[in-house]
Amino acid sequence: MDIHNTSEEIVFNMADQIFGEIRKSSNPDNYCLCEQCLVDTICYTLNRVEPHYIVSNRGLTRVQQNGIKRQQTEADVTTLIYKGLRLVNHNMRPTAPHDGSAFQERKIKQPLFDIPTISGRIFDGISFEPIIGTDISLLCDGEMVQMRNNNWQNPYKMIPSTPGAYSFWPAPVPADVTDLERVFHFTLKINSPDYEILNHFFSIIIVSKFHNPNSYALNRTYKLPDLYLFPPGEAEQNEDI
């Protein structure tokens, strides 16, 4: 389907323009203008701007003709971008380098095995409450899997804000040629003193392609079944019943 959100285009363009103007003015407020802060500022703005979808060239023409409304939208977006930039700089992600680097488009020079996001949920097998505070690791062929960037952790600690839910986004693996099929054998491992060790094995078949290694899509998520942890010895007792 050819659906386009024109508000998204305005936010992206305005954010790039504003960050560029701040750099040219020698950044008097000493904002961090790294790629991560740019992305976080854009997300803040997009979450507060009304989307406007079009499905044809005629729709785009109507948007372009409505100059007064577009000017007001751009003014509102500008205000939100500056507000978002201040908030993002006040609460910068500890996992990002924040070295002040500008956004640089990554060029894809070789085919990749682009592994999808891996997600699932874990519960206590007795109380059925979501697991919180436990570390979960993702391994491939016995080795810890490298994540796409610093915003994705491995091991991942189960946190209260997303009770019982975990997610991993593995880094892409280089391939020699396109259309090469490879089976990746993963292990989800949980080792907690409060529960028996859990090793959940699964495999994903990936075909090598030329992908944008930083393009996230919700429809490319490998969903695992719900998993349950039991106190030491509890699983054996349940099997005997």
Q: Helix 67-90 and helix 6-24: axis angle, to 10°?
A: 60
What pLDDT digit, counting tens, does each position of 171-224 carry? 999 999 999 999 999 999 998 989 999 999 999 999 998 866 555 555 578 999
In this predicted structure, the answer to whether residue 61 has a pLDDT above a threshold of 90 is no
In this predicted structure, the answer to whether residue 66 has a pLDDT above a threshold of 90 is no
Average pLDDT over residues 4-11: 81
What pLDDT digit, counting tens, does each position of 199-208 carry? 999 999 999 9
pTM for the predicted model, two decimal places: 0.64
Identify the band that residue 48 occupies on the pLDDT scale cut at 50, 70 and 90: very high
- 117-124 and 221-223 beta bridge pairing: parallel
> How much is the pLDDT for 201?
97
In this predicted structure, the answer to whether residue 135 has a pLDDT above a threshold of 90 is yes
In this predicted structure, the answer to whether residue 68 has a pLDDT above a threshold of 80 is no
> How much is the pLDDT for 134?
93
Which CATH architecture is the domain 112-240 placed in? Sandwich (2.60)
Report how far residue 123's alpha carbon sits from residue 136's, in angstroms, rounded to the nearest whole number.
Answer: 13
Average pLDDT over residues 99-120: 72
Average pLDDT over residues 61-66: 50
* Sequence-ordered strand ranges (E) for 82-231: 112-113, 117-124, 135-140, 143-144, 156-157, 165-168, 173-174, 181-190, 198-207, 221-223, 227-229
Locate the domains of the chain by residue range: 4-90, 112-240
Q: Token pair of 78, please?
A: 């500008």
Q: What is the mean pLDDT of the chain?
A: 83
With a CB cutoff of 8 Å and minimum separation 6, the contacts of 96 are 34, 36, 37, 150, 151
> How much is the pLDDT for 101?
52
Report how far residue 148's alpha carbon sits from residue 169's, in angstroms, rounded to the nearest whole number.
Answer: 6
- Of the chain, the end-to-end C-alpha distance in Å amounts to 53
Average pLDDT over residues 132-141: 94
